Chains A and B, each alone.
Chain A
Amino acid sequence: MTLELSAGDQSMLDGEHGPAVAAAMKILVAFSNAVGARRLLDIAGAHIDGCLYHGQAGLDFVERLVEGGGRVHVPTTLNVGSFDLIHPGLVRMPPSQEAPARRLMKAHLELGCQATFTCAPYQTRFRPAFGEQIAWGESNAIVFANSVIGARTNRYGDFIDLCCAMTGRAPAWGLHLSDNRRGQILFELTGSFEPTDALFVGVGLIIGQASGDRIPVISGLPQPRDEDQLKALGAAAATTGAVALFHVVGITPEAKTLDEAFRGMAPEATIRICRADIDQALAELSSVPDGAPLTAVSLGTPHFSHDEWMRLLPMLREIAPGRGVPIYVNTGRATLKRLQDEGALAGMGALGLIPVADTCTYVTSIIERLDGVVMTNSGKWAHYAPGNIGVSVAFGDMEDCVRSAAAGHVVRSAP
């Protein structure tokens, strides 16, 4: 075995911190051996994507850790669950599925995880810092933490994210190590672009599809309006591909220059992206034409930030939908609470707004009418919803979504 355990690791493995931690360390050791890590390292925090019910084994695992007196060793946030615990009745689920789904969310809290229930933990007070070693699950959270913040995580998933949280350790492998964060494939935007929301989604879709398992570097991207545009880029890339880290020259923290992004090496390949490529990628998200009747709008995949709400609410007031097309907005409960404290949501129900916390409209049964077209500004939602919940999708930016809700059919302004 090439893995060297510290005295602390060994004592956890030997059961000196209880059976739950011993089990977690055993799994972590096997995983670390499989990826060729030579040692483990300390993590400052974890994000667990374990609250969506994938079968009995997942629940059994968490229950056994709870029974074994397990507690997470580092601050640990939770990804979305199947329920909006703040708006009871919003999610419709057969009773036989309800109990295990609820229990899964609750059991994680019993392990000491934070009740964040968001796919955007980087928007909470648990946001990591540049260079910090963390163990995160959920593809958009991983790519945001690595790319936009410059924290360091691999793509941790099922079971292993929780094992890192329980032990406070992760394998010294992959993106935890500086040399492995080097850019490999260059995407050059040709032409001059305005920083529209759609641009960032389109670029994300393309680099996701074309990168494979190589780390993409993007040049020629205009300065984003805010980090939410980079959030959308990452989410799209992590949806169409397995991107865990991207660099944008002059914009993301490990890519002040092209040379820094590639750590002095030459790109292994260069791919040019022109406007037509972006338009094509975006067009493929929609399965319906302009004018198609609209049954709902869904925003907030990943979870809406406070800034995004501050852009949306004035739009709602000005355009004043409220003709029966519901506008679902997924968001973190911490963000929702802040909005409520600010009184920002007063009167919005009448305009069709339905805030959704703790979960997301494409993973669970919230949207009432699945027989029609749902419009979204999210590349990720557009990709998953047809398969997950069976709707047809139209893609457009935030304003087009709101205008469409007011019109009752799909409206897109000229690019």
Chain B
Amino acid sequence: MSEQESRALKRRALNRVGSFQLAGEAQGSALVFSHALSFWGGIDVETGEIIDHSHPGLGQNVAGKILVMASARGSSSSSSVLAEAIRKGTAPAGIILERPDPILAVGAIVAEFLYEISMPLVVCDISGIVSGDRIAISLGEDAQAMVRKI
């Protein structure tokens, strides 16, 4: 198979195994960014709107989406913002990163502890996922994360 064919196959039949920083199940439309988004200063918790003027996603809305990016960034206050957004229902349905993030992990786990809402936080290869893809995150064997295009 050529590189091109392999990539096309990857795009069509996404069925990936990753690891959970916080386990959970979710489905939603992917919102993919090549630019890391900081929740602190980046998201309006009332609405889920991206308010960071330096971010290419300015004006888009993360609520109910599967947020996909290589890594997160920003101050530890992003933990509070994510927890608050989960509480208000304006957070993404799930977040997929290529590198584990301690700040988002803390926010997600605190929200689960307080409100019993498990917004999955997954670490896996994100290549081949584009904005608009319908993504499903589910629990696989041995506590692994399953990420599929549906």
Contact = CB atoms under 8 A, between A and B. Distances in A.
Given A56-B87, A157-B75, A158-B106, A34 B100 contact: yes
Nearest to A160: B106
B84 A64 contact: no
Interface stretch (B30-38, B107-115, B132-140): B107-115
Contacts of B87: 55-57, 60
A193 interface: no
A70 to B, nearest CB: 12
B21 A159 contact: no
Contacts of A209: none
A27 B77 contact: no
A97 B29 CA distance: 36
Given A30-B105, A33-B100, A55 B80 contact: yes
Contact of A54 (B84, B86, B102, B103): B84
Given A27-B106, A31-B106, A60 B114 contact: yes
Interface residues of A, number: 23
B114 A64 contact: yes
A155 interface: yes
Contacts of A27: 106, 109-110, 113
Interface string A52-88: 0011111011001000000000000000000000000
Nearest to A1: B19
A160 B76 contact: yes
A26 B111 CA distance: 13
Interface string A15-56: 000000001001100110111000000000000000000111
A156 interface: yes
A55 B76 contact: no
Interface string B77-99: 11111011011000000000000
Contact of A158 (B76, B111, B113): B76
Contact of A57 (B75, B83, B100, B101): B83
Contacts of A158: 76-80, 103, 106-107
7 contacts: A23-B113, A33-B100, A61-B114, A64-B113, A158-B107, A160-B102, A160-B106
Given A31-B102, A33-B21, A56-B84, A157 B110 contact: no
Interface string A160-190: 1000000000000000000000000000000
Contacts of B86: 57
Interface string A282-296: 000000000000000
B22 interface: yes
A354 B120 CA distance: 49
B90 to A, nearest CB: 12
B45 interface: yes
A55 B83 CA distance: 9
B84 A160 contact: no
Residue with the highest number of chain B CB atoms closer than 10 Å, among A55, A155, A156, A158: A158
Contacts of A157: 75-77, 79, 103
Q: Would you call the interface of chain B mostly helix, strand, loop, or mixed?
A: helix
Contacts of B84: 54-58
Interface of B: 21-22, 45, 75-81, 83-84, 86-87, 100-103, 105-107, 109-111, 113-115
A8 B121 CA distance: 28
Contacts of A58: 80, 83-84
Given A55-B45, A57-B114, A60-B114, A34 B105 contact: yes
Contacts of A56: 84, 87
B76 A155 contact: yes
Given A26-B113, A27-B106, A34-B101, A156 B80 contact: no
A30 B22 contact: yes
B110 A61 contact: yes
A58 B78 CA distance: 12
Residue with the highest number of chain B CB atoms closer than 10 Å, among A30, A60, A64: A30
A372 to B, nearest CB: 27
Nearest to A49: B76
A159 B100 contact: no
Residue with the highest number of chain A CB atoms closer than 10 Å, among B77, B103, B110: B110
A128 B20 CA distance: 36
A294 B81 CA distance: 36
A388 to B, nearest CB: 13
B142 to A, nearest CB: 12
Given A33-B105, A35-B102, A157-B75, 17 more contacts: A27-B113, A30-B21, A30-B106, A34-B21, A34-B105, A55-B87, A57-B83, A57-B111, A58-B80, A61-B110, A157-B76, A157-B103, A158-B77, A158-B106, A159-B83, A160-B79, A160-B102
Contacts of B103: 157-158
Contacts of B75: 157
Residue with the highest number of chain B CB atoms closer than 10 Å, among A57, A58, A137, A155: A57
A162 B40 CA distance: 19
A64 B103 CA distance: 20
B102 to A, nearest CB: 4
A31 B108 CA distance: 11
